[in-house]
């Protein structure tokens, strides 16, 4: 008996993510457009769809959250840095720091939980001035990170970091393409055209998104018939 293939719809149902299909103009293998708008990559087109209805959008596959957690934890990451170097703490990947400093996880998480908005803003600004981080995360914007902190709050951000610290190198990947803040709510949106959810995305769904109660969904672009 032939085993039935798992579809994207099946995957979304299994992890509790919504699936929305949007008809769009397909120009070539990479470029799409909606309603006669400018052509762009799928995540750009979907991001503009949310932005046009008032959403603030970050196109970064979780980069805004990862850098926000680093900014909130920076004082302890710098104090515990192996080289005694704050610049290294700013520039080094969060997953590497949480692995190296695993025995200090509780202290790092507590630092995030107790961060004040003013201290967080200073640290976000410090990270935004790093040319290395700008090269790694070119689409992460300081203003969006601050808005994200206003939405999440320090306790929720600390809870996310604690979940992330269970397997930092696994949970660095798999975040959906877009973070959308709209009408006081946050939604994580993965954009698909033909492929299914990756193993890293399924792992993120089970290890981060579900425990944190994130509202996640997939928008699948489907080509209009010519």
Please state the rounded mean pLDDT for residues 212-224.
Answer: 97
Residues 123 and 161 occupy one common structural domain:
yes
Do residues 199 and 211 share a domain? yes
Q: What is the pLDDT of residue 3?
A: 55
pLDDT value at 2 more than 80: no
Q: Is the dihedral of CA 212, 148, 106, 137 positive or negative?
A: positive
Q: Which two tokens stand for residue 190?
A: 């993965």
Q: What is the pLDDT confidence band of residue 217, given thresholds at 50, 70 and 90?
A: very high
- What residue has token string 């104090």? 79
Report pLDDT for 1: 45
Q: Once rounded to an integer, what is the mean pLDDT over residues 116-120?
A: 98
pLDDT at 188: 98
pLDDT band at 36 (very low <50, low <70, confident <90, very high): confident
Q: In this predicted structure, what is the pLDDT of residue 29?
A: 85
pTM over 0.75: yes
Looking at the fold, whether 141 and 183 belong to one and the same domain comes out as no
Residue 34: CATH number of its domain: 3.40.1350
**Cα–Cα distance list, 204 to 44, 58, 190, 207 (Å):** 22, 18, 12, 5
The answer on 162 and 69 residing in a single domain is yes
Rounded to 5 degrees, φ, ψ at 7 are -100, 170
> Is the pLDDT reported for residue 110 higher than 50?
yes
Name the nearest CA neighbour of 117 among 165, 63, 68.
68
Tell me how far the alpha carbon of residue 92 is from its chain's centroid: 18
- Listed residue (186, 155, 220) closest to 62, CA to CA: 186
pLDDT tens digits along 59-108: 989 999 999 999 999 999 999 999 999 999 999 999 999 999 999 999 99
Domain end marker among 132, 152, 171 = 171
Residues 172-194: tens digit of each pLDDT: 999 999 999 999 999 999 999 99
- CB 123, CB 74: distance < 8 Å: yes
* Domain encompassing residue 123: 63-171
Strands 215-223, 18-26: pairing kind = parallel
3 domain residue, yes or no: no
pLDDT of residue 50: 97
Buried b (16+ CB within 10 A) or exposed e, 138-176: eebbbebbbbbbeebebebbbbbbbbbbeebebbbebbb
């Amino acid at each position: 008996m032939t085993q039935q293939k798992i579809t994207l719809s099946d995957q979304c149902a299994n992890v509790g993510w919504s699936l929305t299909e949007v008809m769009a103009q397909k120009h070539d293998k990479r470029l799409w457009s909606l309603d006669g708008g400018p052509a762009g990559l799928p995540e750009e087109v979907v991001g503009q769809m949310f932005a046009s209805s008032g959403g603030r959008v970050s196109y970064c596959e979780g980069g805004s959250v990862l850098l926000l957690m680093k900014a909130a934890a920076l004082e302890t990451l710098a104090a515990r840095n192996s080289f005694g170097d704050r610049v290294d703490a700013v520039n080094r990947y969060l997953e590497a720091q949480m692995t190296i400093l695993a025995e200090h996880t509780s202290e790092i998480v507590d630092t995030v939980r107790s961060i004040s908005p003013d201290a967080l803003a200073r640290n976000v600004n410090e990270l935004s001035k790093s040319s290395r981080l700008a090269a790694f995360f070119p689409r992460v914007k300081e203003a969006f990170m601050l808005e994200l902190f206003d939405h999440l709050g320090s306790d929720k951000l600390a809870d996310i970091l604690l979940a992330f610290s269970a397997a930092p190198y696994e949970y660095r990947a798999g975040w959906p393409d877009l973070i959308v803040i709209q009408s006081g709510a946050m939604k994580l949106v993965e954009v698909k055209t033909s492929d299914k959810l990756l193993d890293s995305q399924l792992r993120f769904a089970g290890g981060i998104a579900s425990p944190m109660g994130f509202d996640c969904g997939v928008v699948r672009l489907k080509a209009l018939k010519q």
